[in-house]
Copies of this chain bind each other. A is one copy, B any other.
């Protein structure tokens, strides 16, 4: 018998998305946010931060692949990679599929990593890779370092609260400084359908610092509206240097993800 026990994300004041829960495996108020892990029949284990779906075992591959691979296959030789956020380990897992030298992962909240290691061990397996180094600090400060990177991936929560600074003009300026000449930065930029301001602002912000800006889309069933956007930016060229076939991405998807529906084009072009 299935119990009437649900977790729902309030995707906006007026929209909610719920999954039936088998058990509530973990809950903790960290210094930064409330972390919950649920076990569900449909989506497997689910990580929720401040009431929002971050990862489900069933659909995490769509987002993780689409944040990581377009940038990784577009760089001529990605050796040093910076991941901002991504404390679950999923984006790192995708990046580590390439012969990279080093991956710095800057996750402000060490409790997210701890929870992922305990309850999402397959996703968090990337933390055992010796090429990965974790930095538990604010990425806004980390990017002041004098390191340099081929690829920077921004896998943060949405631009409200403590993650807001990661979408600011100052942050993009700092990120540019630590990006190599051919370097590529890729960020998630939310749902154009639910939150058009997010992609519009991220697009405008990146345009102020980079010559080439490529917004793109993927499906993401447990994120609001199921339509998720990302932006790649670079002062070099953005073109495919190698093939990668995952569970979502393939060569066709790499081409087609840059095609934007007419209403999304208009959102980005709006002043």
Judging by beta carbons under 8 Å apart, are A259 and B261 in contact? Answer: no
Judging by beta carbons under 8 Å apart, are B256 and A259 in contact? Answer: yes
Judging by beta carbons under 8 Å apart, are B14 and A17 in contact? Answer: no
Which residues from 238 to 261 on chain A have a C-beta closer than 8 Å to any C-beta of chain B?
A: 245-250, 252-253, 255-261
Judge whether A19 is part of the interface by a CB distance below 8 angstroms.
yes
Chain B residues positioned under 8 Å from A259 (CB to CB): 252-253, 255-256
Shortest beta-carbon distance from A44 to chain B in Å: 11
Give bound CA distance, A262 to B217, whole Å. Answer: 16
Judge whether A20 is part of the interface by a CB distance below 8 angstroms.
yes
Shortest beta-carbon distance from A50 to chain B in Å: 19
Judge whether A40 is part of the interface by a CB distance below 8 angstroms.
yes
Q: List 30 A-B contacts (CB under 8 A).
A: A2-B13, A6-B16, A8-B18, A13-B20, A13-B42, A14-B40, A15-B18, A15-B20, A15-B42, A15-B43, A16-B17, A16-B18, A59-B193, A61-B263, A193-B219, A194-B221, A219-B219, A219-B226, A219-B261, A221-B227, A226-B226, A247-B262, A249-B261, A249-B262, A250-B261, A250-B262, A252-B260, A253-B260, A255-B259, A256-B259
Chain B residues positioned under 8 Å from A227 (CB to CB): 219, 221, 226
Judge whether A225 is part of the interface by a CB distance below 8 angstroms.
yes
Copies in the complex: 2
Which residues from 53 to 107 on chain A have a C-beta closer than 8 Å to any C-beta of chain B?
A: 59, 61-62
Q: Mark A35-52, 1 if CB is under 8 A from B, else 0.
A: 000001111000000000
Chain B residues positioned under 8 Å from A146 (CB to CB): none
When C-beta atoms are compared, the residue in chain B nearest to A224 turns out to be: B221
Chain B residues positioned under 8 Å from A245 (CB to CB): 262
Q: Mark A1-37, 1 if CB is under 8 A from B, else 0.
A: 0100010100011111111100000000000000000
